[in-house]
Amino acid sequence: MAAYILRRLLLMIPTILGIMAISFVVVQFAPGGPVERVIAQIQGTDVSATARIGGSSGGDFSAAGNTNQSGSDAAITSKYRGAQGLDPEFIRQLEKQFGFDKPPLTRFGLMLWNYARFDFGESYFRDISVIDLIKEKLPVSISLGLWMTLLSYAISIPLGIRKAVSDGSVFDVWTSAVVIIAYAVPGFLFAIFLIVFFAGGSFFDWFPLRGLWSEQYARMGFWEWITDPEALVDYFWHLALPLISMALAAFATTTLLTKNSFLDEIRKQYVVTARAKGLTERQVLYGHVFRNAMLIVISGFPAAFVSAFFAGSLLIETIFSLDGLGLLSFESVINRDYPVVFATLYIFSLMGLIVQLVSDLTYTWIDPRIDFESREV
């Protein structure tokens, strides 16, 4: 097992390199960029963009409007949309600030070297390091991803098993109808429904609409907060509606997956043999069927967890005013804040690969017959 784990860990290196390389190449050909964004702000009404260039201000553009530019200066300004009329030296300062004065391969190599040491640099447009920015948003994403996954599996697995055992019964039929409806309703639409009915919309004002905590608990330290029952109740009260909205589709998918997996196993010959030996239905179900049927359910755990932790929470974060990593990543892409974009991509790619490895190792715990040592990776 140790050799298998080592091989998987080593394979993560080229996988991460491939993900980052493809993303880096796509960004090189994508229109726009941080330089263009600053230029657009300067050409508009937002003069604060110039404050980020060391000591630069509106008065630094003494060459703006100078038509007697050299060929290289003209080439510099023509590279960027809207740069005509700006001092070419100022454009060079922008390129140097954002690192675009270096060749692409050099920039990519420096990025990989820094990321290998978990040095993600500074955000282009926020006065904070990327790692501090991610730490600031992490509590929201951890709360949504972790609790949503646990809630979804805690409901879906028992329900799926019950539906498989009572296949074709009244219970199975009406719960299937509920599950299909839940799957068909988009999470963000259900979130709006919950707000209208239960969060001060048109009916009841039972749940809060913003943040993870009320004001009196927001400044508490972790240990102080976790030992305060009122703070914990307040935390889950804030999370109730977002979690219900996010768990809806995942709950439906996992329930049907669990049911179908158990039905396939229940119909196999070894189950008939176990019953013939006089084992009770509970012994057959949890002693023989469970570990085989749960393999396919566990295989979907990494994708479900990472999706809920990152991309799946974007709309929910926006609707419920929760400032997490999903919203941060979206805003960073829109604002061309590349250090934040690549850092979040790197972290979640790495996390996804590690969770996948943990999931594979869980197979051997559920079913010891699985031997990864004998597999060719």
> Encoding tokens for residue 98?
């954002």
* Model confidence, pTM: 0.71
Give the three-class secondary structure for 64: coil
CA distances from 255 to 160, 220, 351, 372 (A): 5, 38, 25, 28
What's CA 80's distance to the chain center, in Å? Answer: 32
- The candidate with the shortest Cα–Cα distance to 244, out of 324, 167, 189, 305, is 189
- Among residues 254, 46, 80, 248, which one has the least CA distance to residue 157? 254
pLDDT at 216 over 90: no
Q: Which two tokens stand for residue 222?
A: 């972790």
Same domain, 339 and 264: yes
- CA–CA distances in Å: residue 355 to residues 8, 301, 344, 358: 12, 9, 16, 5
User: Tokens at residue 286, please?
Assistant: 């949890």
pLDDT score recorded for residue 60: 39
Query: Are 85 and 189 contained in the same domain?
Result: no
What is the per-residue pLDDT for 338?
87
Q: What is the CATH number of the domain that holds 324?
A: 1.10.3720.10
Can you give the residue range of the structural domain that contains 73?
35-116
Q: Is residue 24 part of a domain?
A: no
Is 73 found in the same domain as 197? no
- The pLDDT assigned to 22 comes to 92
pLDDT tens digit string along 240-276? 888 888 877 778 888 888 888 888 888 888 888 888 8
Q: Which of 180, 358, 145 is nearest to 255 (CA)?
A: 180
**Each residue of 157-199: pLDDT tens digit?**
899 888 988 888 899 899 989 888 888 888 788 888 888 888 7
Long-range (24+ apart) CB contacts under 8 A made by 266-274 are 266/164, 266/165
96 with 181, same domain? no
**Cα Rg of the chain (Å, integer):** 27
